[in-house]
Amino acid sequence: MSDPGFTPDEMMTIAAARALRNDDVCFVGIGAPSAACNVARLTHAPDITLIYESGTIGTAPDVLPLSIGDGELCETAVTTVSVPEMFRYWLQGGRITVGFLGAAQLDRFGNINTTVIGDYDSPKTRLPGGGGAPEIASSCGEVFITMKQSLRAMVEKIDFFTSFGHGVGGDAREKLGITTKGPTLLVTDLAVWKPDPRTKKFTVVSLHPGVTRDQVQATCGWQVAFAETLEETPPPTERELTTLRDLKARTEAAHRGEKAEAGAGGA
């Protein structure tokens, strides 16, 4: 296969960024979600409001933060509020349209584990934990998830329920009194997935360029469902790629204590 000119990670980040709207108020997770949200801000959604868990509102970082406590977030924010205010007034008050999360483990219903791999009392791996993700998953208007596909990450049954997606499917959220939509989008390095309207099981609606159904199934721990009309994800545009690569270059240089050279046509 010829080189498409972009990596699977770049395709994933850009496809996720495209899902955000200019008028969104978005609660951003660190890592891949942060990259996607800032690419959206630097391209088609300049007026998007990005909020991080540390209380920074309307932040516009020049480089991607290492953590929610990164000074870059506070320095570029419109304002910074206390964490209790962030969660009680902004999040639980229904003022955030999209929560953007990652996952260490994910099941077909969008339930997320970021706590432990293995038994909780004697885990194989102790993960960072939920942080604000459980509240984001239940209180944001809807949730987008982005992650790389692998058999270890996309599993039949997660080892721990950190953030509630659609539970066992169907109307599980409504039965618990949760009125928000929950996970409405999953973007991986291979495909774009959306939940079935009735069962809430994630279904592949779009394959990234050059990706096959077999590749998707080989890296997923459950039986994959494909949409009847399966589309191909539009490849990244030159502007999208340049914006992402410049952002990554600035970030790497900043974390080394250097200055990055601006790319041609960069953001």
Q: What one-character DSSP code corresponds to residue 231?
A: E
Specify if 190 maps to a domain: yes
Helix or strand holding residue 203 (H, E): strand 202-207
Q: Which residues contact 162 (CB under 8 A, 6 or more apart)?
A: 112, 113, 114, 115, 129, 130, 133, 134
Is position 117 within any domain?
yes
- Residue-level pLDDT at 266: 40
Specify the residue for token string 């077909």: 108
Report how far apart the first and last C-alpha atoms of the chain are (Å, whole number): 31
Among candidates 185, 171, 236, which has minimal Cα distance to 208?
236
Per run of 10 residues, the mean pLDDT along the chain (length 267 residues) is 80 97 93 93 97 93 89 92 94 95 96 96 92 93 96 97 97 96 98 98 98 98 97 97 96 80 44
Q: Is residue 141 part of a domain?
A: yes
Active-site residue list: 53
* Contact in structure between 52 and 61 (CB atoms under 8 Å): no
Question: How many domains are there within the chain?
Answer: 1
d(CA 130, CA 123): 16
Residue 264 belongs to a domain? no
Residue 72: the pLDDT is 87
How far apart are alpha carbons 101 and 94 in whole angstroms?
A: 17
The CATH number that applies at residue 238 is: 3.40.1080.10
What per-residue confidence (pLDDT) applies to 267? 36
Helix axes 8-18, 238-255, angle to 10 degrees: 110
CA-wise closest residue to 263 among 242, 236, 237: 242
**CB atoms near residue 24 (< 10 Å):** 21
78: left (phi over 0), alpha (psi -120 to 50) or beta: alpha
Contact criterion met (CB below 8 Å) for 237 and 17:
no
Does residue 123 belong to any structural domain of this protein? Answer: yes
User: Is residue 1 one of the residues assigned to a domain?
Assistant: no
Domain that holds residue 153: 8-255
pTM of the model: 0.91
Q: So what's the pLDDT on residue 1?
A: 45
Any domain includes 36: yes
CB atoms within 10 A of CB 267: 18
Q: In the prediction, which pLDDT does 195 show?
A: 98
266 located within any domain: no
Could you give the residue ranges of the DSSP H alpha helices within the chain? 8-18, 32-42, 71-75, 83-85, 133-139, 172-175, 213-218, 238-255
